[in-house]
């Protein structure tokens, strides 16, 4: 990759070959000055699009999990722009990956470039020099009138930022590959330091910007199976200074094959509480495809009903499910929960309980069911635990292809004694559970929610490996995380930044499921839902 260095009084940090020896870094390299350059926030944060024509989508993407869609019409070219601080009389390079007809990239009042047709991702690049007194620059993308929607991703403005801060962050250390698939590579590295503060990291694939992230993990997607790739990482600060490159790390993508793993990003949607939002509007705004719909309980004995009162068919629940499916999504019902009159204690035998589950499966032709097993009536009751496992085994045998999920509480170190029993008995009874989803929250106020979630998941992984004899990768593939957005019941705080870290960790370790409680609470911008939509397993 061609790199422009700034000439400063202090020494320049140098990365030496594959050995990665570093002198003390202090000089600033060129950086990507744009905020939210890959739209990974799930919003148009820091971008302004004309006439409400811009949106963030989860497909197609060039890198990461999100991209910009600009809906050009006969009356609007869908111009999306961002203004940044720059230095006078300085050369900059602007680039972006685009798809569509007549897509333009440029700087207001300066140079621009365009493509007449890009059926697949194509990189546009243009260089310009700022004026003698210029302190800001507005960069833009737009389509053309009547030419339809264009897509853009991984936009980069390469050069020194404005302001007085000229000290670069230190280079990221210990870059490493944490996972591969046929089309993606997951990476992690140790954090950089800076005199003011590190604001993000740019990940380069074979010398070309692949994605930008705020944390110390990233997944680069859209790759070719059985192919070698080389990755480096740079840290950047608010002034636009960039660190030297990290050591290079190489990875080979897996061979192409059928991915039979069960992958599900499915936040909770509860139609019986909390001013439930329009499921399809949230799908359009965030790219989410699955919902975990709550809660199916018992009505008049061993009969399933939504919240013990709404029928399976003919009501708002069924109409919502139909709308979700018409929009290209699907649902998994949450059977049980913390409170209410549950099926597990009310159905006397595994066979009777399986019959209740079957009514739910048949009502919606389900691909998966989730039993949320909590509290003393189910989770801390060995008879009911075994009854639920026996029922899930029966419906799995009677419904080929059905996926089964168990959701249950956890300690911050992994399953408690009841959780350990649930895992052990699922193996002993041959229940063939596809996913064990833990709920890593309510540990106590002030908990480190990222660290506690990771520790709890690692504890479950160890238990699954021990009980089932699985490899580490097999255990991760059978694990789910169901968090709680914002404040938990005990006052723990999970911010969008922390949830993004959890999501990225879950992607890099290829777990099977990600959920949170709940979409009803994710207002006004559906931030957590957008982040969850970026879960790829």
Per-residue pLDDT of the chain (537 residues; tens, 9 = 90+): 222 222 222 222 222 233 333 333 333 445 688 888 999 888 998 899 999 899 998 778 887 778 999 999 989 999 999 998 888 899 999 999 999 999 999 999 999 999 998 888 899 999 999 999 898 899 999 999 989 899 999 999 988 877 667 788 999 999 999 888 777 788 999 999 988 788 889 999 999 888 888 788 888 877 888 899 999 999 988 777 889 999 999 999 887 654 467 899 999 999 999 899 999 999 999 999 999 999 999 999 999 999 999 999 999 999 999 999 999 999 999 999 999 999 999 999 999 999 999 999 999 999 999 999 999 999 999 999 999 999 999 999 899 889 999 999 999 999 999 999 999 999 999 899 999 999 999 998 788 999 999 999 999 999 999 999 888 888 999 999 999 999 999 999 999 999 999 999 999 999 999 999 999 999 999 999 999 999 998
Element (H, E) at 451: helix 449-468
Among this protein's residues, is 374 annotated catalytic? yes
How far apart CA 133 and CA 12 sit, in angstroms, is: 27
In angstroms, how far is the first alpha carbon of the chain from the final one?
30
- The structure tokens listed for 410 are 């956890």
> pLDDT value at position 80?
97
Q: Which of 193, 184, 171, 194 is nearest to 248 (CA)?
A: 171
User: What's the count of helices (H) and strands (E) in the chain, helices before strands?
Assistant: 10, 30
Q: Which of 223, 235, 236, 222 is nearest to 175 (CA)?
A: 235
How far apart CA 482 and CA 461 sit, in angstroms, is: 15
> pLDDT value at position 226?
87
* Calculated CA dihedral for residues 292, 219, 282, 527, nearest 10 degrees: 100
* Pairing mode of beta strands 479-484, 513-517: parallel
Q: Are 513 and 481 in contact (CB under 8 A)?
A: yes
Domains within the chain, CATH numbers bracketed: 48-159 (2.60.120.260), 170-252 (2.60.40.10), 264-533 (3.20.20.80)
DSSP codes, 314-356:
SSHHHHHHHHHHHTT-EEEEEEEESSS--HHHHS-SHHHHHHH
> pLDDT value at position 367?
95
Of the residues 138, 167, 351, 374, which is catalytic? 374
- The SS3 assignment for 497 reads helix
> pLDDT value at position 118?
87
- The SS3 assignment for 41 reads coil
> pLDDT value at position 18?
32
């Amino acid at each position: 990759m061609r790199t422009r260095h700034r000439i400063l009084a202090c020494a320049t940090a140098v990365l030496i070959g594959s050995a990665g020896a570093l002198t003390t870094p202090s000089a600033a390299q060129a950086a990507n000055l744009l905020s939210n350059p890959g739209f990974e926030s799930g919003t148009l944060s820091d971008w302004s699009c004309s006439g409400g024509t811009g949106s963030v989508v989860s497909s197609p993407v060039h890198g990461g999990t999100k991209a910009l869609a600009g809906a050009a019409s006969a009356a609007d070219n869908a111009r999306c722009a961002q203004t940044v601080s720059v230095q006078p009389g300085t050369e900059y390079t602007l680039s972006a990956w685009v798809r569509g007809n007549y897509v333009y990239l440029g700087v207001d009042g300066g140079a621009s470039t365009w493509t007449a047709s890009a059926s697949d991702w194509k990189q546009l690049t243009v260089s310009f020099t700022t004026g003698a007194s210029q302190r800001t620059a507005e960069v833009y993308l737009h389509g053309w009138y009547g030419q339809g929607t264009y897509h853009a991703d991984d936009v980069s403005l390469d050069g020194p930022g404005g302001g007085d801060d000229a000290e670069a962050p230190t280079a990221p250390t210990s870059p490493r590959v944490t996972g591969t698939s046929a089309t993606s590579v997951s990476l992690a590295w140790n954090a950089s330091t800076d005199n003011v503060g590190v604001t993000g990291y740019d990940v380069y694939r074979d010398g070309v910007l692949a994605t930008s992230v705020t944390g110390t993990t990233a997944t680069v997607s859209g790759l070719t199976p059985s192919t070698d790739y080389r990755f480096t990482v740079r840290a950047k600060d608010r002034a636009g200074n960039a660190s030297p490159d990290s050591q290079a790390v190489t990875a080979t993508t897996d061979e192409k094959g059928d991915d039979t793993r069960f992958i599900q990003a499915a936040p909770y949607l509860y139609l019986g509480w909390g001013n439930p939002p329009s499921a399809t509007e949230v799908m359009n705004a965030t790219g989410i495809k699955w919902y975990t719909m709550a809660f199916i309980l018992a009505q008049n004995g061993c009969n399933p009903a939504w919240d013990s009162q709404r029928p399976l068919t003919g009501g708002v629940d069924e109409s919502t499910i139909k709308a979700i499916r018409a929009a290209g999504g699907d649902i998994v019902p949450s059977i049980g929960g913390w409170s209410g009159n549950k099926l597990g204690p009310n159905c006397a035998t595994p066979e009777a309980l399986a019959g209740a589950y079957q009514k739910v499966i048949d009502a919606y032709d389900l691909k998966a069911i989730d039993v949320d097993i909590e509290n003393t009536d189910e989770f801390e009751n060995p008879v009911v635990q075994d009854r639920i496992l026996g029922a899930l085994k029966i419906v799995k045998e009677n419904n080929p292809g059905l996926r089964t999920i168990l959701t249950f509480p956890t300690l911050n170190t992994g399953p408690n004694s009841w959780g350990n029993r649930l895992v052990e008995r699922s193996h002993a009874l041959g229940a063939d559970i596809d996913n064990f989803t833990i709920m890593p929250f309510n540990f106590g106020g002030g908990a480190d929610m990222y660290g506690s979630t990771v520790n709890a998941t690692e504890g479950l992984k160890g238990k699954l490996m021990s009980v089932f004899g699985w490899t580490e990768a097999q255990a991760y593939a059978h694990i789910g995380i169901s968090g709680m957005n914002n404040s938990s019941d005990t006052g723990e705080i999970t911010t969008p930044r922390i949830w993004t870290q959890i999501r990225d960790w879950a992607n890099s370790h290829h777990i099977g499921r990600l959920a949170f409680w709940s979409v009803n609470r994710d207002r006004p911008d559906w931030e957590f839902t957008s982040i969850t939509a970026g879960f790829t397993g």
